[in-house]
Structure 1
Amino acid sequence: MTAELTVSDQVEALVGHTYRMPGYYEVGREKIREFADAVHDDHPAHHLEEGAAELGYRTLIAPITFTSILGSIVQQHLFTEFVTVYDLSQVLHTDQRIVVHRPVRVGDQLYCESTLESFRESHGQDVLVFRNEITDGGGCAVQTSWTTMIARSGGVIDEALAGVVADVTRRRAPRRH
């Protein structure tokens, strides 16, 4: 007779495993400008090639948090394909630490590998820490980040909220390359 694994057991078993996002995210000039506008970052290097050139770059560079676009895509995949024991409407992003290896530039093809680095239960919630390695098409490091999320399992799920979350994440699904 086999005992059923708890949610904690299932997630604990994934610690150390890595998930690679399918395809890549291609960085466009207008996407950088739109993101910079959205976060009210008016630095010339995000809007004008001349501004980027003053910093030694041939093309626009993105604000540091631009990779949150990629992070949203990766989060959707993580919780639908890798850590599948949680409903995404029951997951809260609580902390982020970013190490920049080089700026994100127009034309970059960004790949992401996420490793579940740690897991613990705390006050009835599950705390998960993912290490995210973002690389370019040549395999060179662009950013490394650590994302902490708190998730709840086994609770009552508000179906209306779950529907809204599913709708939002569907809109951000990447095109496969």
Structure 2
Amino acid sequence: MPLPPDFEDTHYHVDDIYQVARDKVREFALAVKSEHPAHHDEQVARDLGYSGLVAPPTFFAIFGALAQRRLLELGGLDLTRVMQTDQRAEFHKPLVVGAHLSCGVSVDSVRAMAGADIIVTKNVVADANGEPVLTTYTTVVHRELADDDEGANDEIMEAVRAL
């Protein structure tokens, strides 16, 4: 199924507010093996001038991926046929424990190439005052199942869909 003609004008704003929690920052830092003490020790973070623990830079992936997924679903994309190829993040200020974040995502551009759709999305994460915390640009490639695709991949695709 091709992308809807108005997909390039698609916007989605996450209804929920994400609160950056101390334990989540510590857990994420451990998971990504980030040993900087500002991710684990509140006093170190305060000594560096922050009001609480500072989340590792990739922490935004936790809630950004949810917004991204919803936007692609709104476009009718089969998410099992989407592959992320690039991501760029512009940090406006650190993610600190206690922040209440909102996220809006939109389609920045769409182009077709070699039978695939190349889609760039823009996520804007803002704090409780509406000030940007970070902006990300994510490039994904979406390819519909073609008539000449082998059926051998059906079993793999069903397993992915079941996840």
Q: Give the alignment's TM-score, normalised by structure 1.
A: 0.81
**How much is the aligned-residue C-alpha RMSD, in angstroms?**
1.6
Q: Does 1:43 align with 2:31?
A: no
SS at match of 2:107: strand
For residue 84 of structure 2, what is the amino acid of its counterpart?
A: H
Equivalent in the alignment of 1:112: 103
Give a deviation string over 1:106-125, Cα, whole Å, max 9, x none. 11111111110100111221
CA distance in 2, matches of 1:160, 1:43: 38
Determine if contact 2:12/2:67 at 8 Å carries over to the other structure: no
Q: CA deviation at 1:44?
A: 0.7
Determine if contact 2:81/2:142 at 8 Å carries over to the other structure: yes
- 1:87-98 map, 5 Å: 87-98=78-89
Determine if contact 2:11/2:71 at 8 Å carries over to the other structure: no
Where does structure 1 lack aligned partners over 5 or more consecutive residues?
Answer: 1-5, 165-177
Where does structure 2 lack aligned partners over 5 or more consecutive residues?
Answer: none
Equivalent in the alignment of 2:93: 102
Equivalent in the alignment of 2:159: 160
Q: CA deviation at 1:83?
A: 1.5
SS at match of 2:7: coil
SS at match of 1:75: helix
Equivalent in the alignment of 2:70: 77
Q: Runs ≥4 in structure 1, deviation > 2 angstroms? A: 154-157
CA distance in 1, matches of 2:75, 2:14: 13
Q: CA deviation at 1:154?
A: 3.4
- Equivalent of 1:7 in 2, 11, 34: 2
CA distance in 2, matches of 1:152, 1:51: 47
- Equivalent of 1:66 in 59, 79, 83: 59
Q: Give the alignment's TM-score, normalised by structure 2.
A: 0.88
Q: CA deviation at 1:24?
A: 1.5
Percent identity, aligned pairs only? 37
